[in-house]
Structure 1
Amino acid sequence: MKTLTGQTWRRWPVAGAALLVLAVLAGCAGGSKRPEPAELPPNVAVLGVRQAWVARATEVAFPLEVHVAGQQVALAGSDGTVLTLDAATGQTLGRAQVGEALSGGVGSDGQVTAVVTRVNEVVALSGGREIWRHRLGTQSYTAPLVAGGRVFVLGADRSLTGMDGQTGAVLWNVQRTTEPLVLRQAGVLTAVGNTLVAGLSGRLVGVNPDNGSILWEAPVASARGTNDVERLVDLVGGVSRQANVVCTRAFQAAVGCVDTHNGQVQWTRQANGATGISGDGERLYGTEGDGRVMAWNAQDGGRAWVADDLQWRFLTGTLVLGSAVVFGDSTGLVHLRARADGKPLNRLRTDGSGIAATPVLAGNTLVVVTRKGAVYGFVLE
């Protein structure tokens, strides 16, 4: 039996269904225009950070998830260009072109890299060359999970498909009742030990990766309201994992933690965000839809602190980096906040086009990708 790696892979809204849903929800909340964010004060660099390098990819207008394997990062542009970079130097180690615009990616195990195109094809690459492609019956906005010699795909309709990593042959497929509305952003798809863990509507679900059988289901949030928009419930990509416990966010509804050993929900708390969360074992960190930055106690979900000085800015998911929590915004700024209390530690500038994905750490390098396709490497001093 092949086992899964147990690693976690990691949203930002793009044109189409997600933005339509977000706009409708905002209108339902009050119908007024979103307030303008306050001007930021001068940056005071409490924590030293220097730019080590900058590289060029292509424009990113889809829900990119940057994949990290040791010192290497794999990322992609909307036009189908897939890049592998050395995080220490920014040097390009590999470049491939799948020939179609992308809707989801990037997933990799270091040997096979997989993305999803807008024409609903999963494309697998190895050594910079295409080894297979498979047409899905649905769209997908989530990076494929490549693990245990297989490629797993989460459909926009929250179907799950397992494929052979070398041939693309379908091993199994799980279909769920189609939701009236889905988000055009990455969902939850990861591995914990030899259990495939996925977000299916408002539930975190444990799946046997060998045959697709459902092992357990854990409700993080339930549908509410009287119409399809109000009843939309979905788990969004970007989770925190500590041992067997996975903590996740339900879109504009809740955050919660689940023991993946038995599928038991440890706790859930109401939260109004649309991006993934991160954690350090003591606390969870995330950004809310109104631009507040939140920290919750990992044991019970109690609020640890809230920072509201970035209110009304559009923020990415969070990354825990040493004593800091890191996230980007839609103006191209990268913010570093103290894990202890949320106070500013530093603020980094990029090209101003907006941060396209949750920042990642590869080796000792903080890697940030912008909407224009610039890739920045920063190092803490």
Structure 2
Amino acid sequence: MRRHIRLPFAAALAALLALSGCSKDKSADQPAKLVMIKTRLQVKKLWSTDLGGGKHQMLLHLGLGPAVAGGLVYAASHKGLVEALRVTNGRRVWRARLRMPISAGPGTGDGLVVVGSTQGEIVALDAGSGQVRWRTHVDAELLSAPAIGDSVVVLRSVDGRLQAFDENSGKPIWSIEQQVPRLSLRGIATPVIVKHEVVSGFDNGKIVAVNINNGNTLWSTTLDAPRGRTALDRLVDVDCGVAVVGDNLYATGYHGRTAQLAIDSGQIWWAHNMSSDHGLAADAKTVYVSEADGSVVALRAQDGAEIWHNDVLKWRDLSAPAITSAAIVVGDYQGYLHWMDKKTGVIIARTRDSKFRVSSPPIAIGNTVIVMSDGGEVAAFRAAPRPTG
């Protein structure tokens, strides 16, 4: 599947013509056809609801994803709807109608639910009631969920800025900026708050950690440097949020590497060459990566050695993996969810609940998976071993 690229109009037109000229080979980058699998997990849909958004939300490549906290699922649509649903049964707790085109979030924490818009609007809602707590504005489009913690709300915007706001008032606290390449992928990394640091990837291939109180840079690490002759070849965006496990974090980039870094220094302990703009998930022993070409790879957390590699879903535009008790789960461009054996990578269950792509990472709670399609459909599934005998 082709990547969604952000660039000025003239350059976009040239890139489109170049890509069109390369598309005569109908076998190139075609999504793999689904094959029969031996089902070892029984998947049950617990509930589903539709927030709307449909094709318009999908064409904008927003990929709005759910957030889970305190037994509630928070979800938003491009049409300005934000809802809180019970994890157990999907029943609505509250609904807020905001008059803005939501493109970022929701993020949740410290009793807040925060969303952003294509026009730079930021709205903080009370997590318990959905009432508006405050509003503010930045001068750029917002495309990723905010991080909330340590009394601040932190957001990335498409102009390369990472900005912090007081969680009680919405007043700006600090702002830093990284250079944005002339050509970059459409999408930005969700920042992560850990150990009084804010860590985020940027379009220039860097991962930066700053002090959460004042924005001072603590460390900056280049995950990979641009290479190649063309602007397309030199894309090195780190558009996926990092995964934090213990004292280490894991990050992956487009045309770059997947790496383990030290949280306190940014030192790279190991790196594995692979391209991903979809994301990864990690636990104490294993790192699971959805590569740009649709392959899913498991790496040993200790040293980055490859454990298994599954390429049967190539070019199906996969989401980042979610780690459940029983398996890992990825979504694809046709709305399918695939459960993979953690030890072997073999697909052991599959279901479909939407005709729209699932680009936002599913959220795992034990063996329950919360998923939101790009069309605005939210659903919960539970997988358990099939009865034998």
TM-score by length of 2: 0.87
| Match for residue 190 of structure 1 among 180, 192, 195 | 192
The equivalent residue for 1:167 is 169
State the shift of 1:356 in Å: 4.1
Q: Is the 8 A contact 1:58 1:76 kept in 2?
A: no
Query: Does structure 1 residue 41 correspond to structure 2 residue 44?
Result: no
**SS at 2:348's partner residue?**
strand
The equivalent residue for 2:160 is 158
State the shift of 1:151 in Å: 0.9
Using a 3 Å threshold, how does the CA distance of structure 1 residues 14 and 72 change in structure 2: closer, same or farther? farther
Q: CA RMSD in A?
A: 2.5
**SS at 1:236's partner residue?**
coil
The equivalent residue for 2:71 is 71
* Equivalent residue pairs, number: 368
- Cα deviation 1:219-256 (Å, max 9, x = unaligned): 21112223433322221224322112110111232211
Structure 2: gaps spanning 5 or more residues: 385-389
CA distance in 1, matches of 2:94, 2:198: 29
The equivalent residue for 1:241 is 244
CA distance in 1, matches of 2:184, 2:201: 12
The equivalent residue for 1:288 is 291
Q: Is the 8 A contact 2:65 2:372 kept in 1?
A: no
State the shift of 1:95 in Å: 1.2
The equivalent residue for 1:307 is 310
State the shift of 1:271 in Å: 0.7
| Match for residue 51 of structure 1 among 40, 45, 70 | 45
Using a 3 Å threshold, how does the CA distance of structure 1 residues 124 and 43 change in structure 2: closer, same or farther? same
The correspondence of residues 2-41 of structure 1 with structure 2, limited to 5 A, is 27=19, 32-33=25-26, 34-41=28-35
Paired letter, 1:282: K
Using a 3 Å threshold, how does the CA distance of structure 1 residues 351 and 156 change in structure 2: closer, same or farther? same
The correspondence of residues 1-381 of structure 1 with structure 2, limited to 5 A, is 27=19, 32-33=25-26, 34-59=28-53, 60-61=57-58, 62-109=62-109, 111-126=111-126, 127-200=129-202, 201-362=204-365, 365-381=368-384
The equivalent residue for 2:387 is none
State the shift of 1:28 in Å: 11
The alignment-based identity, stated in percent, is 27
- Cα deviation 1:62-104 (Å, max 9, x = unaligned): 1323212142121111111111111111111121122111221
Q: Is the 8 A contact 2:114 2:125 kept in 1?
A: yes
CA distance in 2, matches of 1:244, 1:54: 37
Q: Is the 8 A contact 2:192 2:241 kept in 1?
A: no
Using a 3 Å threshold, how does the CA distance of structure 1 residues 252 and 124 change in structure 2: closer, same or farther? same
CA distance in 2, matches of 1:273, 1:107: 23
TM-score by length of 1: 0.89
Q: Is the 8 A contact 1:51 1:379 kept in 2?
A: yes
State the shift of 1:185 in Å: 1.3
CA distance in 2, matches of 1:138, 1:288: 29
Q: Is the 8 A contact 1:143 1:153 kept in 2?
A: yes
Paired letter, 1:336: W
**SS at 1:313's partner residue?**
coil
